Amino acid sequence: MEENYSDDASGFDNTKTFKKAKNQDNVKCTSTDMNNGSSVPEGCVAQTGSKDTLMADFRAPETDLSYKLNAREKKIIDFRGKLYLAPLTTVGNLPFRRVCKVLGADITCGEMAMCTNLLQGQASEWALLRRHSSEDLFGIQICGAYPDTIAHTIDLIDRECVIDFIDINMGCPIDIVVNKGAGSCLLTKPMRMKGIIQATHGTVDTPLTVKVFGRVSVPVWLIILSDQLLIIALVRTGYFEGRNRIDSIISDVSRWGASAITIHGRTRQQRYSKLADWDYIYQCARKAPDTLHVLGNGDIFSYTDWNRHISDCPEISTCMIARGALIKPWLFTEIKEQRHWDISSNERLNILKDFVHFGLEHWGSDTKGVETTRHFLLEWLSYTHRYIPVGLLDVKPQRLNWRSPSYFGRDDLETLMASESAADWIRISEMLLGKVPAGFTFAPKHKSNAYDQAENG
């Protein structure tokens, strides 16, 4: 999980209201305080409120898209046909989400934050809840082990943050999470899972999503909208390879109260070792009751992938995009414009420049802010080098699982961007952020088998 920082380690004070900053200098994004801790839109600063405002909800300017709504004004979240950028660990930070919004994403979601860290007021965890005003449909993802912990966290977030939905992660397979009794550990504790859902149901009227692995190892997303329970279930096909189970419980998911289900076409055991099983997703979608919306997820990497899944199975409402957006965030543009974009190296560099600009706004332009921006730029470049330019393909489109041999691009910059060497990623960062400090090295947090550890600048 990405490390971010904040001045206010406890989140927000109830006695504060907020106003629009006159200039960027008013927003304290220092070397230690990367993103100021909470999900108030960027460009807002704290100001002590008057007595009349102490009893009022946070009110942003009327022109701000992210103002906090009262219960009767909660947004109706309709995922049908919308382009949804999935929660992405490390790289799915605020500057990256801004890039994706510019390129056509409709829905964005922050990275996973741990409930205990939020309740302890850890600045780095509150920073993950930060949203930008351009994120007009935005949710956050939290993870915890106990009903009371999650309920208290959601109550705090609902009072203090400007968000559209909350996702509770009950499917994370990472050891450090599972060993604390959270994430996929909850699949062995169905009664605790039930307690968590019941506790959260009575806590807030903010749209709430819950991601879990059930007794058959399926992650579920749950959304609570005002007094109406709207549940979106995000599931893998099963736990072990060859033992798909979702089709046998998809009617139960609806009966339990789910209004929608997102199916990732792999088992937990498979991870990303095989292509997503869209035939099985179709099978589940066709078996689902009419009251249950089905969303597909897995290996979306072109507008033709998107079109094929929607046309082959009209029962699917939409698809969620994850790794494809990391490798080529202009995928959202391709889907909306229905074309394979033969993007040039200079156009790709301009997208990286946008990220750097957003990063310096977000993390600060001092020495620490520059190096933080560089770090997350390098993390992103560890994915983008896998893109193969459309103009070099004999067969279109590129598939997400393709690993091309080394090749020469149509210009030197395109060749540089295709490099698997961290030393070359560092060279790209120096084009945008200046020379790295003496002795600088970089290793990506999520290493692929192809990562070149030998050449590291």
C-beta separation of 352 from 91 below 8 A: no
Residue 341: what pLDDT? Answer: 96
Q: Which helix (H) or strand (E) holds 225?
A: strand 223-225
Enumerate residues 6+ apart whose C-beta is below 8 A from 102: 134, 354
One of 172, 284, 313, 319 is an active-site residue; which one? 172
Tokens linked to 376: 């997350």
Residue ranges of domains in the chain, CATH in brackets: 71-337 (3.20.20.70), 353-433 (no CATH)
Collapsed DSSP state (helix, strand, coil) of residue 381: helix
How many Å apart are CA 66 and CA 69, to the nearest integer?
A: 9
Q: What is the 8-class DSSP label of residue 62? A: T
Nearest Cα neighbor of 336 from 102, 136, 109, 108 is: 102
Given the DSSP bridges, would you call strands 44-48 and 16-20 parallel, antiparallel or unpaired? Answer: antiparallel
Tokens linked to 177: 């999470």
Backbone angles phi, psi at 421, to 5 degrees: -90, 130
Backbone angles phi, psi at 175, to 5 degrees: -55, -45
How many Å apart are CA 397 and CA 390, to the nearest integer?
A: 7
C-beta separation of 227 from 199 below 8 A: no
pLDDT digits (tens, 9 = 90+) for 266-289: 655 555 667 788 888 888 889 888
The pTM of this model reads 0.76
User: What are the C-alpha distances in Å from 84 to residues 39, 108, 439?
Assistant: 19, 6, 39
- DSSP state string for 20-56: E-SSGGGS---SS-SS-SS-SPTTEEEEE--GGGTTS
pLDDT digits (tens, 9 = 90+) for 137-171: 898 888 888 989 988 998 888 888 888 877 777 66
Tokens linked to 407: 């090749």
Residue 249: what pLDDT? Answer: 66
How large is the C-alpha radius of gyration of the chain? 22
How many Å apart are CA 117 and CA 145, to the nearest integer?
A: 12
Greater confidence (63 vs 447) lies with 447
pLDDT digits (tens, 9 = 90+) for 43-93: 433 333 443 443 343 333 333 333 344 443 455 677 788 999 988 889 999
Greater confidence (185 vs 149) lies with 149
Residue whose token pair is 């995928």: 331
Residue 14: what pLDDT? Answer: 37
How many Å apart are CA 324 and CA 376, to the nearest integer?
A: 18
- The answer to whether residue 172 is catalytic is yes
